[in-house]
């Protein structure tokens, strides 16, 4: 297998990718949750593509029916944003590149331990579920990162404000690259993306490309940005 490295990398150098994928499920009680429509497809494909390139890959995967095809991918599962935060804290030091493809909930139901283990009952009166904000995991990881680590986020945005929102998130989260893509990408077979860099760079796919080919396209962009730090 070919390991693609920069000319400065010694032969043993293997890049380490930490990637998150899939939705979060935030419990309302023991049987209900607030989730989102992310399938995890993009992140799982990206994990497989990186493993095929010889990267050491750890995939933090949410409640998704998908699993990576490549046996070398190390898999850990999460359910909630808070579970994912704990996994990231445990794994982030041992990576060269972090890609946050997970669709993380911004709010979770504010529930007591008793509600979490019980089941809400139907009543005639209306029901109000109070939500509390979750932590911005990517911003938290970026604030603790080591020199040389490359952090990549995603921004799924309405087309008309895609570029400005993505630029804003790149700055606000303190990351190196952000993959901006329009909302229509969500359940489509193809993706049209722009990767914005902290250095002001913008790399676009040539129109919409098949999601299966997108992983390799994005990894090439990331490899250009990532220098080898584990030599």
Helix ranges restricted to H, 53-80: none
User: DSSP class of residue 146?
Assistant: P
**Which CB, 138 or 195, lies closer to ligand CTP?**
138
Residue 168 C-beta: closest distance to ligand CTP, Å? 9
Exactly one of 21, 47, 73, 100 binds ligand CTP (CB under 6 A); which one? 100
Q: Is 12 exposed, middle or buried (0-12, 13-18, 19+ CB in 10 A)?
A: exposed
Q: Residue 23, interface with ligand CTP (CB under 6 A)?
A: no
Residue 106, interface with ligand CTP (CB under 6 A)?
yes
**Alpha helices for 15-108 (secondary structure H):** 41-52, 81-91
Residue in the block written with tokens 């429509």 = 37
Residue 36 annotated among the catalytic residues of the structure = yes
CA distance 27 to 116: 7
Compute the chain's Rg from CA coordinates.
19
Q: Is 55 in the site for ligand CTP (CB under 6 A)?
A: no
Nearer to ligand CTP, 118 or 158 (CB): 158
Q: CA-to-CA distance for 211 and 231, rounded, in angstroms? A: 32
Q: Which residue in 33, 55, 78, 154 binds ligand CTP (CB under 6 A)?
A: 154
Tokens 């993009």 -> residue: 42
Residues 225, 121: Cα–Cα separation, whole Å: 53
By beta-carbon proximity to ligand CTP, the closer residue of 100 and 111 is: 100
Span from 10-18, 68-76, 99-107, 183-191 in contact with ligand CTP (CB under 6 A): 99-107
Task: Yes or no: say if 159 and 145 are a contact pair by the CB < 8 Å rule.
Answer: no
Stretch near ligand CTP under the rule CB under 6 A, chosen from 6-14, 41-49, 133-141, 211-219:
133-141
Q: Does residue 102 bind ligand CTP (CB under 6 A)? A: yes
Q: Which of 61/81 has CB closer to ligand CTP?
A: 81
Of residues 135 and 146, the one with the C-beta less far from ligand CTP:
135
Shortest distance, position 147 Cβ to ligand CTP, whole Å: 21
> Residue 53, interface with ligand CTP (CB under 6 A)?
no
- Tell me the sheet residues that pair with 87: none
DSSP-assigned states of every residue in 147-208:
TT-EEEEEEEE-GGGHHHHHHHHHHHHT-SEEEEEEGGGGG-SEE--EEEETTS-EEE-SS-
Q: Which of 18, 47, 57, 81 binds ligand CTP (CB under 6 A)?
A: 81
User: Of 9, 29, 34, 36, which one is the catalytic site residue?
Assistant: 36
The site map against ligand CTP for 177-216 (x = CB under 6 A) is ----------------------------------------
- So which residues are the catalytic ones? 36
């Amino acid at each position: 297998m070919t390991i693609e490295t920069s000319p400065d990398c010694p032969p043993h150098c293997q890049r380490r990718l930490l990637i998150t994928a899939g939705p979060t499920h935030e419990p309302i009680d023991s049987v209900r949750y607030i989730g989102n429509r992310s399938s995890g497809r993009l992140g799982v494909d990206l994990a497989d593509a990186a493993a095929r390139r010889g990267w050491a890959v750890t995939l933090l995967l949410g409640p998704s029916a998908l699993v990576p095809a490549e046996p070398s991918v190390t898999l850990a599962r999460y359910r909630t944003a808070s579970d994912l935060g704990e996994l990231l804290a445990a794994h982030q030091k041992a990576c060269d590149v972090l890609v946050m493809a997970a669709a993380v909930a911004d709010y979770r139901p504010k529930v007591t331990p008793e509600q979490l283990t019980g089941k809400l009952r139907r009543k005639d009166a209306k029901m109000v579920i109070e939500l509390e904000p979750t932590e911005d995991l990517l911003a938290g990881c970026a604030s603790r990162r080591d020199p040389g680590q490359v952090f990549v986020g995603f921004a799924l945005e309405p087309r008309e404000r895609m570029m400005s929102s993505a630029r804003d998130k790149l700055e606000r989260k303190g990351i190196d690259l952000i993959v901006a893509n329009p909302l229509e990408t969500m359940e489509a077979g193809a993706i049209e993306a722009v990767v914005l860099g902290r250095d002001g760079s913008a790399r676009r796919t040539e129109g919409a490309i098949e999601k299966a080919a997108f992983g390799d396209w994005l990894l090439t962009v990331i490899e250009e940005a990532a220098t080898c730090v584990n030599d």
